[in-house]
Structure 1
């Protein structure tokens, strides 16, 4: 009788301790906030140098871009990433921006030592790096928070090929140009 009086409370206590933190509820259902895949155009098939550069950049991309959660992309390229709704999209190995170096080009934007050529469009702006060994573009929907500061560390995995200067060659000027011929 004494053994039973001791064994029952000890068994209950052990059962409680062993199951603490375990819930009988099944795994939570996937959140209804999971975003559908986006289908941005794929960059051209990269040559080996472009592929190696894009691998370096994509290895450094953040999983979450500020408050924007990652999205799946339906594309044949592994060098496309997206976050949020509407999607901020990064593509590596794209063509040189058509507007780069033209009179119609907006001034370059320098963000955390990375030079970007903005191409404002009706509902978005496409920023393309112009100072690295490959062109990387970022499509930013109108009204979205600016993601370039969060992406600059990944782009900085590639060394710059040129620096910002004005047309007279003054570094740090308000109207930067990238003087390397690529």
Structure 2
């Protein structure tokens, strides 16, 4: 009888252990950011791969920690992550005449260290910057908190080196 109870407990424990392993396998302690990978044409993708090779190891004091899925078209720094995506489509606000005239308070055009940007305030308090007057559009999302000017200053040399001035298709 004692042996029966022992076997019965083992059978009950086995599913409980399997459940714990399954739950542990599904949860993740990894706080990696994620970013949708753009799908530009071949010539823009080549520019983006060149940009990836010259991006700084640190941006605004934050170490590089690329988002998932891994791609030469995306990069990230810090947590919450500053996310760069290269080869994005032209933002609609970039061609909005209200932005050019300064009449849209949520989108402002400007330049930092030789790189022109469209700055759009996001609903969560962060900002989205998209390069202008370059052969590829590069988007940088800065979460609420960090000083975005430091981010753009740190990224400008790499963008100037890898993405020529011009008009993206």
Structure-2-length-normalised TM-score: 0.70
Q: Quote the RMSD (CA, aligned, Å).
A: 2.0
Matched with 2:165 is 160
Any residues of structure 2 matched to 1:15-164 within 5 Å, and which? 36-44=31-39, 46-75=40-69, 77-105=71-99, 106-123=107-124, 124-146=126-148, 147-157=151-161, 158-161=163-166
Of structures 1 and 2, the one with the larger relative CO (CA 8 A, separation 6+) is 2
Cα offsets for 1:52-82 (capped at 9, x unmatched): 1112211110012131122231126321001
CA distance in 2, matches of 1:145, 1:38: 19
CA distance in 2, matches of 1:56, 1:77: 12
Structure-1-length-normalised TM-score: 0.65
Unaligned runs of 5+ residues in structure 2 are 1-28, 100-106
CA distance in 1, matches of 2:119, 2:164: 20
Which runs of 4 or more aligned residues in structure 1 lie more than 2 Å from their structure 2 counterparts after TM superposition?
103-107
Matched with 1:30 is none
Could you say if the C-alpha distance between residues 131 and 78 of structure 1 is closer, same or farther in structure 2, counting changes exceeding 3 Å?
Answer: same
Unaligned runs of 5+ residues in structure 1 are 1-33, 162-179
CA distance in 1, matches of 2:30, 2:58: 13
Could you say if the C-alpha distance between residues 65 and 76 of structure 1 is closer, same or farther in structure 2, counting changes exceeding 3 Å?
Answer: closer
Cα offsets for 1:1-41 (capped at 9, x unmatched): xxxxxxxxxxxxxxxxxxxxxxxxxxxxxxxxx97311112
**For this pair of structures, how many residues does the alignment match?**
130
